[in-house]
């Protein structure tokens, strides 16, 4: 089946390349970490374990992505700075930020137990991110100075606040007392009231942490007479530094200057125009469907390492479906999702104002919620398999102005599912029969749907259409009324519901009524809808 009639939908994707010589900075932030820290009983005002976990995630990010040369974080945020000449993912902003957010989330979940051995993860954390582009090193310097200043200001504030709360003030009373106070007053206040010298508090709270690659000596092996053999190795290390935006700091760490250039001048006061530019963000077109498509990063390797069944692993697909359900449960604005292989498309209603339609926030949060669920639910779907390394997903957001085009988008993905599945089914049957991979490729080259079906039937006695629908057609997730759950067991029921609602025309028209039905949130994964043309099979 040709997919070309639908491929025009790709042209709706807009370029978001960060043009050189801009330096790319990705800032990842915890989503609703106030609640997360309450539920998990983080120590107030700062929990060293939580900061160490964040630092450990940052180190993992640096090890994973060598193009990141420096990172700085405090509280629940971390900024990652790419080398000036990076070509990482063709400098595409959303691809980069989603990948970093996803990997960061994955590591945070995986390492939780190491840092909080006594504290069960009660719900999965998620992060959001955005890209800042710094046109000059002065702008980058300002960015770093700004973040470190924010660390200081917010830490001083929460230190005062929690000292008062510990001394029997309510949260609101403490807030009232601190309202309109200056930094020097807060310092003084801590000292006078609680005998706390702010400067003596741990640096990790006051200054935040930075991490970057350093050379260190490592024992790689021992000789026969027991003496150690040492080598210099590059690895990320975490530091607390007084002022990361100062010339002196960059001079002391020449490797940073090599990748980014030296800081020529000292910046004085923070330039508010630069800071305004850091808060600027592109918004997605209003009154258009937003589709966020996420895709497993290097899942070819991931599926090999975790020995997924070929060509399809039902457990892996069910895990993906379950994560999509978690995403729909989290965001009421997502009305439909369609998944196949290592990808999932999430459709947000036209009128959605989620994150004021800011693309990077929407993409990164969806990717993060999905990744968190993937790591957390792994053991339910693969109880006898350890997760050998952290999976990650990238994401993009595309606007489709009409239901017709959105329908074509989904049809495009489903036809792709069909083409790939049919090819892979033939390919792996040939390989299982004893053909080499290149022989199997040669046999299948240039064959059409009909020929592949015949090959399966005559050679292997397989009726392609008897293969499970989850493999042939992908999966959909959407909300249904409670009563409908019983009736939707196969694609015929599914199509009946759709035609009941929209008189048999395009099923996407059901978004309106479905939205209404979604009041009674019941999310389920349903297999086998034919997205190309309701009522006809592929």
Count of residues in contact with Mg ion, rule CB under 5 A: 4
Shortest gap between Cβ of 417 and ligand GTP (angstroms)? 11
What span, in angstroms and rounded, lies between the C-alpha atoms of 208 and 211? 10
Per-residue three-class SS string for 429-477: HHHHCCCCHHHHHHHHCCCCHHHHHHHHHHHHCCCHHHCCHHHHHCEEE
Residue from 295, 313, 329, 330 in contact with Mg ion (CB under 5 A)? 295
Strands, sheet with 77-82, edge to edge from the N-terminal-most edge strand: 127-134, 23-30, 77-82, 68-74, 209-222, 228-239
Choose among ligand GTP, Mg ion, none what residue 300 binds, the Cβ cut-off being 5 to 8 Å by kind. ligand GTP
Task: Pick the stretch among 142-150, 263-271, 322-330, 340-348 that binds Mg ion (CB under 5 A).
Answer: 340-348
Task: Based on the shown chain and the rule CB under 5 A, indicate whether residue 394 belongs to the binding site for Mg ion.
Answer: no
Contacts of 410 (CB under 8 A, 6+ apart): 338, 345, 347, 508, 531
Taking the complex as a whole, the smallest distance from the CB of residue 61 to ligand GTP amounts, in Å, to: 17
**Least separation, in Å, of the C-beta of 490 and ligand GTP?**
21
C-beta closer to Mg ion: residue 293 or 377: 293
Look at residue 308 and give the partner it binds from ligand GTP, Mg ion, none, a contact being a CB closer than 5 to 8 Å depending on partner kind.
Answer: ligand GTP
C-beta closer to ligand GTP: residue 209 or 312: 312
| 528-530-532 Cα angle (round to 5) | 155
Q: Which residues of 461-482 are buried (b: 16+ CB within 10 A; e: fewer)?
A: ebebeebebbbbbbbbbbbbbe
Tell me the C-alpha distance between 72 and 207, whole Å: 10
* Binding of Mg ion by 342 (CB under 5 A): yes
CB of 295 to Mg ion, least distance (A): 4
The distance of closest approach from Cβ of residue 306 to ligand GTP in the complex, given in angstroms and rounded to an integer, is 9
Rounded distance between C-alpha atoms, residue 393 and residue 334, angstroms: 19
* Helical spans, DSSP H, in 79-213: 93-115, 137-166, 171-178, 183-194, 203-207
299 touches Mg ion by CB under 5 A: yes
- 341's contact among Mg ion, ligand GTP, none, with CB below 5 to 8 A by partner kind, is ligand GTP
Q: How far is the CB of 427 from Mg ion (least distance, A)?
A: 18
* Minimal distance, residue 341 CB to Mg ion, in Å: 7
Could you check whether the bond before residue 160 is cis, i.e. omega within 30 degrees of 0?
no
Pairwise CA distance, residues 329 & 175, whole Å: 34
Cβ proximity to ligand GTP, 235 vs 432, nearer residue: 432
DSSP character for 355?
G
Residue 313 contact among Mg ion, ligand GTP, none, beta carbon within 5 to 8 Å by kind: ligand GTP
Binding site for ligand GTP (CB under 6 A): 295-300, 303, 308-310, 312-313, 316-317, 341-342
Q: Residue 297 Cβ, how far from ligand GTP at the closest point, in Å?
A: 4
Our CB check for ligand GTP shows the closer of 270 and 431 to be 431
Nearer residue to ligand GTP within complex by CB, 108 or 299: 299
- Which of 45, 296, 474, 528 contacts Mg ion by CB under 5 A? 296
419 binds, among Mg ion, ligand GTP, none (CB under 5 to 8 A by kind): none
Which residue, 80 or 299, has its beta carbon nearer to ligand GTP?
299
Does position 374 interact with Mg ion (CB under 5 A)? The reply is no
Nearer CB in complex with ligand GTP: 16/29: 16
Shortest Å distance, C-beta 125 to Mg ion: 24
Query: Least distance in Å: CB of 347 to ligand GTP?
Result: 20
Name the minimum Å distance from CB 421 to ligand GTP.
10
DSSP state of 358: B
How far is residue 347's CA from residue 410's CA, in Å, rounded to a whole number?
Answer: 10
Contacts of 328 (CB under 8 A, 6+ apart): 334, 337, 346, 477, 478, 479, 523
Alpha helices in 181-227 (DSSP H): 183-194, 203-207
Q: Does 73 bind Mg ion (CB under 5 A)?
A: no
Nearer to Mg ion, 92 or 452 (CB): 92
Query: Which range in 296-304, 311-319, 416-424, 463-471 contacts Mg ion by CB under 5 A?
Result: 296-304
CB 110 within 8 A of CB 75: no
Can you list the pairs that 196-201 forms with residues at least 24 positions away whose Cβ atoms lie under 8 Å?
A: 196/159, 196/163, 198/156, 198/159, 201/155, 201/159
Closest by CA to 492, choosing from 430, 452, 442, 534, is 534
Which CB sits closer to ligand GTP, 55 or 422?
A: 422
Judged by beta carbon distances under 5 to 8 A according to partner kind, the member of ligand GTP, Mg ion, none in contact with residue 312 is ligand GTP
65/355 with CB nearer Mg ion: 65
CB of 404 to ligand GTP, least distance (A): 27
Q: Which is nearer to ligand GTP, 122 or 300 (CB)?
A: 300
CB half-sphere exposure, 404, CA atoms < 13 A: 2
Q: Is the dihedral of CA 29, 33, 37, 43 positive or negative?
A: positive
Contact between residue 510 and residue 531 where contact means Cβ atoms under 8 Å apart: no
Query: Could you tell me if 421 and 468 are in contact, meaning their C-beta atoms sit under 8 angstroms apart?
Result: no
Distance of CA 298 to the CA centre of its chain: 14
Q: Answer whether the bond into residue 172 is a cis peptide, omega within 30°.
A: no
- Nearer Cβ to ligand GTP, position 295 or 493? 295
CA–CA–CA angle 62, 370, 105 (5° rounding): 25
Residue number, 316 or 480, with CB nearest to ligand GTP: 316
Pick from Mg ion, ligand GTP, none: which does 303 bind, CB < 5 to 8 A by kind? ligand GTP
CB-based closest residue to ligand GTP: 300
What part of residues 175-204 is at the interface with Mg ion (CB under 5 A)?
A: none
Q: How far is the CB of 471 from ligand GTP (least distance, A)?
A: 8
Residues forming contacts to Mg ion in the complex (CB under 5 A) are 295-296, 299, 342
């Amino acid at each position: 089946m040709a997919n070309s009639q639908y491929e025009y939908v790709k042209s709706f994707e807009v370029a978001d390349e960060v043009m050189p010589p801009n330096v790319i900075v990705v800032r990842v932030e915890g989503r609703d970490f106030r609640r997360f820290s309450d539920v998990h009983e983080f120590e107030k005002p700062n929990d060293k374990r939580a900061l160490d976990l964040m630092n450990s995630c940052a180190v993992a990010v640096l090890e994973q992505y060598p193009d990141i040369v420096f990172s700085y974080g405090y509280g629940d945020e971390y900024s990652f700075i790419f080398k000036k000449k990076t070509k990482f993912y063709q400098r595409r902003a959303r691809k980069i930020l989603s990948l970093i957010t996803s990997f960061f989330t994955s590591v945070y979940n995986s390492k939780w137990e190491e840092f909080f051995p006594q504290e069960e993860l009660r719900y999965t954390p998620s992060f959001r991110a955005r890209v800042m582009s710094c046109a000059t090193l002065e702008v980058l310097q300002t960015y770093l100075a700004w973040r470190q200043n924010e660390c200081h200001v917010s830490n001083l504030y929460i230190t005062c606040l929690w000292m008062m709360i510990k001394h029997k003030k309510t949260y609101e009373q403490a807030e009232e007392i601190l309202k309109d106070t200056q930094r020097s007053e807060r310092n003084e206040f801590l000292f006078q009231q609680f005998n706390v010298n702010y400067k003596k508090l741990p640096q990790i709270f006051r200054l935040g942490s930075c991490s970057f690659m350093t050379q260190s000596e490592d024992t790689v092996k021992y000789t026969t007479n027991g003496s150690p053999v040492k080598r210099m190795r590059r690895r990320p290390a975490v530091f607390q530094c007084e002022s990361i935006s100062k010339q002196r700091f960059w001079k002391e760490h020449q490797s940073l200057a090599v990748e980014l250039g030296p800081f020529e001048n000292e910046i004085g006061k923070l330039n508010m125009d630069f800071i305004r530019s850091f808060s600027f963000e592109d918004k997605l077109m209003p009154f258009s469907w937003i589709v966020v498509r996420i895709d497993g990063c290097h899942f070819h390797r991931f599926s090999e390492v975790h020995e997924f069944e070929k060509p399809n692993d039902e457990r892996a697909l069910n895990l993906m479906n379950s994560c999509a359900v978690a995403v729909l449960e989290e965001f009421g604005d997502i009305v439909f999702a369609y998944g196949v292989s290592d990808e999932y498309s999430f459709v947000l209603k036209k009128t959605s104002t989620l994150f004021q339609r800011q693309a990077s926030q929407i993409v990164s949060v969806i990717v993060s919620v999905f990744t968190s669920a993937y790591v957390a639910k792994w053991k339910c779907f693969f109880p006898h398999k350890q997760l050998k390394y952290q999976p990650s997903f990238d994401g993009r957001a595309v606007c489709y102005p009409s239901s017709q085009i959105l329908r074509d988008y989904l049809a495009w993905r489903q036809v792709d599912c069909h083409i790939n599945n049919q090819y892979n089914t033939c390919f792996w049957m040939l390989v299982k029969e004893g053909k080499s991979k290149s022989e199997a490729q040669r046999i299948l080259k240039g064959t059409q749907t009909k020929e592949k079906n015949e090959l399966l039937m005559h050679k292997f006695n397989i009726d392609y259409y008897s293969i499970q629908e989850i493999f042939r057609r992908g999966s959909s997730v959407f909300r249904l009324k409670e009563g409908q759950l019983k009736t939707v067991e196969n694609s015929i029921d599914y199509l009946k519901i759709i035609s009941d609602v929209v008189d048999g025309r395009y099923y996407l028209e059901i978004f309106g009524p479905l939205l209404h039905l979604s009041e009674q949130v019941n999310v389920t994964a349903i297999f086998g809808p034919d997205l190309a043309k309701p009522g006809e099979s592929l």
